[in-house]
Structure 1
Amino acid sequence: MPDAPDATTGADGDGDSDGLTVGQVAARFGVTVRALHHWDETGLARPSLRTAAGYRLYTPTDRERLHRVVVYRELGLGLDDIRTVLDDPAEDVPGALRTQRARITERIERLQLLGAGLDRMIEAHEHGLLLTAEQQTEVFGPAWNQDWPAEAHDRYGDTAQWQQYAERSAARGPEEWRTVTEATTALDRALGDAMAAGTPPDSPEANHLVERHREVFAAYFPLTRRMQVCLARHYETDPAFTAHYDTVHPGLATWFRQCVDASARAHGIDPETAGWE
């Protein structure tokens, strides 16, 4: 008896009075023919009849079992669990469903957390800093300009460094940013003290501070030595940065740029040709 022709109709075009073909059942129950074949092969839901031409036919009883398979599958039960529910008289069906309900609840909670994380990541990419105005003032101090994050996004929003910064920012709240701020303030103080002590820019002590600057700055994005050269020049030429460093120690931006240049040379980098890379 042939087994290959899984046509969507029976020998007479509509199946017989008791059975529906594989194609008809697939359409009625919203499942694939491939799934029906698999359930047939594994004995989960088999058609009981065949036409003279060898077409599989699902009787009303077959379709009732298939309906139950589809219902439990839509509830998330695995095929082995469905088989147990349908075939094991001793199975605690309500208990099995409660177990599945608990699994779904856990999955929903994970998805909700994932959704919240995605929302924060989207906002971080669009705005950078995920702190309220009050939190920004509390964390960064009264001199903080709340327009700076938007200006930074407008200027750097299409760069890889902004993406790296956003990824870090999405995971930070006020306490994490306070830790970053404290590390930056401590570094500024150490730089000012070193300059006040007359530390030569090409000394091991100055080089240690240059390395420390790269570590602290990594809170925003990874900083290569060449990028650090460019950043130090920006500190020296940008009025806002220069004013900030002058409050720590007059001329500190220039001294730090000299330290970075000396460190770059020690690592085989020409500061005059270093680019943002």
Structure 2
Amino acid sequence: MKVKEVADLVGISVRTLHHYDEIGLLNPANTTESGYRLYDDRDLEMLQQILFFRELGFPLKRIKEIVGSPTFDRQAALELHRKMLLEKRDRLDEMIATVEKTIKHAKGEVRMTNSEKFKGFDFSGGNPYEQEARERWGDEAVDKANAKAANKEWQNEMGGKMNAVYAKLAELRHVSPESEEAQAAIKAWYDLLNEMGTYSLDAFKGLGQMYVDDPRFTKNIDQFGEGLAVFMRDAMAAYADRNRP
């Protein structure tokens, strides 16, 4: 299947599939002579696995480490996915019941205790799947992915740097994204992302496109200034194209 056919089948964007390929998470088995990606049944199985992990709250970097582990067992993973999704469904059912009872309480039809008002909420933090992931695929992959995330000082430092770059780019969003000042600012964004992970120029350009394709990205980024997501996409594309060897 070609990438557009897979995107239509699954209900995700072509850009998302390109991004998965660029970061080495899902590389299609073959390509045509013209360079078009071709996905086979095994690729579709892996994509399903990736999306199950995403549904359970795993970031792409961690998914790549887990499915790339030599001890990764797809059947065992599917069984764990089922278990965790059932638990998630039970918690959502409980929260729905809390909402419904709260509506009746607000109408004076029933009375709720204070503890009942918060039934179903879980603020314990962390990912409940993680311990089972450790047991199945070892601590190394999980610990590696968690090392920086667990460092609050590092998190705060990165958060401050990100906000500073966003603010700077927001100031420049009305100039040409290819201008020297815009490119200097977007280079700071590229360098910062590579402090937190590993981004090739292609992945950087693809990420910029996702800022526009995914409304969640657009909403968060445009909080710093209307149109910032589009400006960043264009500046990131220009930076990637300009700096290719």
TM more than 0.5:
no
TM-score by length of 2: 0.43
TM-score by length of 1: 0.38
Higher RCO, Cα 8 Å, sep 6+: 2
